[in-house]
Amino acid sequence: MNPATTEFVRQRFTEYYRKAMLVSPSSLEQREWGFVLFNPGAAEMRMRRHIAFTDRAELFDYIKNLVPSHIYYSSAYYEKPDAPTMGEKGWCGADLIFDLDADHIVKGPYDQMLARVKTETEKLLAMLTGELGVDPKQIELVFSGGRGYHVHIKDLAFRGWGSAERRELVDYICGIGLDPSVLLTGPVSSPGWPARFREALIEYLNWLGSQSEEEAMMYLTALDGVGKESAAGLLKKRTEMIAGLSGQVDPTILKDRVIKAVVHETEGEFRKRLNYRAALADEPVTTDTKRLIRMPTSLHGGSGMRVQPLEVRDLHEFDPLVDAVVFSTREVKVDSRFPLAMPMLGSTYQIQKGISTVPEAVAVFLCCRGIAEIA
């Protein structure tokens, strides 16, 4: 941002923080805080951290006076959260956090990325509550203000978990390290990953059947260790295998050289179908027991949108491009670096390269994203 654009955005943030009803996390006095300031022309983001507050009034006054572009607090609880080094802080535990960021899942127009990451979040919540027994009352759901969602698990049972235990949990969520020999045995009614694995394999075998014989053979023989004879044999048994996967699975299915090659693929058509059944959370966030996470009700300095707390039941109807937008529709002139279509506030704004007049909320978003400057 140039200085004029930085001042415009900072003034809008100042107005928001002057009027907003902010919320603070539980056990505020045990949290470390970090702030990124508005710094016109800076090449990189620098954080002011190792800060602690004794109560909400002190925190909120600090925010209103500082007017930062980003506000973070630690998922961890510390004896001395303002100690200058991590070793001196005295770790007492940490909330379990899942971060779903569209940038790690799919590329495309912003509204489409937001729609896809909502789907991933719904899958995650279903796994947590339906398969892993997490009490929905212990879940805090937050739109990040940018490209995704944060899921906070406040249950004390998880607070003392280290990185290894958190890694096992996020691996389950993401479908990492699945053992086909375990998932393809037992009754067909087995819930969770056994059911998802079989569904993905059935879908894959149906996809093979939709290809021409030449295309299917070409695909199968490209797999490691699969020749023409083995590939042809699988295609002949394809319908029989689908029937078996829908009922009591033949325990010898993994002795088939082609099936074994398929289910151990790290990429490709089967893996794509399996990954779609996972919830693609950002693994390093969950395993990090000292993570800084965005403060709900703060503003995201990369979008100007609100970091919006949500009830889990409201996620399906939530539209971040309406419900997390806090600025007005008054007209503002911006100078855009390139043309784009920007959906926001229930409309799509066609913005040309150069100077355009747009609603203030759109102007703040474009400036925060580095797409435009104030004209």
Question: Tens digit of pLDDT for each residue in 152-210?
Answer: 999 999 999 999 999 999 999 999 998 888 888 766 666 789 889 999 999 999 999 99
Count of structural domains within the chain: 3
Given the residues 171, 282, 288, 314, select the one marked as catalytic. Answer: 282
Strand partners, 153: 96, 139
| More confidently predicted of 122 and 224 | 122
Residue 132 maps to which CATH number?
3.90.920.10
pLDDT given for residue 40 in this prediction: 66
CA dihedral for 74, 76, 80, 84, sign (positive or negative): negative
Q: Which of 267, 270, 268 is nearest to 259 (CA)?
A: 270
Asked whether residue 171 falls in the same domain as residue 297, the answer is yes
Cα(181)–Cα(249) distance, rounded to whole angstroms? Answer: 11
What band does 272 get if pLDDT is binned at 50, 70 and 90? very high
pLDDT of residue 186: 65
Say how many Å lie between the first and final Cα of the chain, rounded. Answer: 12
> Do 18 and 100 belong to one domain?
yes
Planar angle of CA 337, 339, 341, nearest 5 degrees:
125
**Known active-site residue 282:** yes
Domain identity same for 295 and 150? yes
230, 237 Cβ separation under 8 angstroms: no
Same-domain check for residues 109 and 235 = no
Virtual torsion, Cα 100, 145, 115, 286, nearest 10 deg:
10
CA distance 110 to 102: 9
Question: What is the arithmetic mean of pLDDT over 37-58?
Answer: 85
Rounded Cα–Cα distance for residues 293 and 158 (Å):
17
Judgement on whether residues 291 and 170 belong to the same structural domain of the protein = yes
User: Given a cut of 70, is residue 248 above it in pLDDT?
Assistant: no
Examine the residue annotation and report whether 256 is marked as an active-site residue of this protein: no
Same domain for 143 and 54: yes
Residue tagged active-site, from 55, 82, 99, 335? 99
Do 356 and 316 sit in the same domain of this protein?
no
Lowest-pLDDT choice from 19-28, 38-47, 156-165, 269-278: 38-47
Same domain, 344 and 314: no
Q: Provide the pLDDT for residue 246.
A: 78
Residue-range definition of the domain harbouring residue 36: 3-175+282-323
Q: Quick one: tokens of 128?
A: 């947590």
Tell me whether residue 55 is one of the annotated catalytic residues. Answer: no
Sheet strands side by side (includes 70-74): 47-51, 33-36, 70-74, 292-294
Same domain, 104 and 161: yes
Q: How far is CA 229 from CA 202, 217, 219, 252, in A?
A: 22, 10, 13, 19
Q: Do 259 and 338 belong together in one domain?
A: no
| pTM of the full structure | 0.89
Q: In the prediction, which pLDDT does 188 show?
A: 63
Identity of the amino acid at 261: A
Task: Kindly state whether residues 170 and 44 are assigned to the same domain.
Answer: yes
111 and 214 inside one domain: no
Supply the DSSP symbol for 162: -
Higher per-residue pLDDT: 92 or 266: 92
Confidence of residue 337 (pLDDT cuts 50, 70, 90): very high
Q: What is d(CA 79, CA 91) in angstroms, rounded to the nearest whole number?
A: 7
Q: What is the pLDDT of residue 181?
A: 83
DSSP string, 212-278: -HHHHHHHHHTSTT--HHHHHHHHHHHHHHHHHHHSS--TTGGGSHHHHHHHT-SSSHHHHHHHHTS
pLDDT in tens, 67-110: 999 999 999 999 999 999 999 999 999 999 999 999 888 888 89
Q: Which of 82, 101, 111, 171 is catalytic?
A: 101
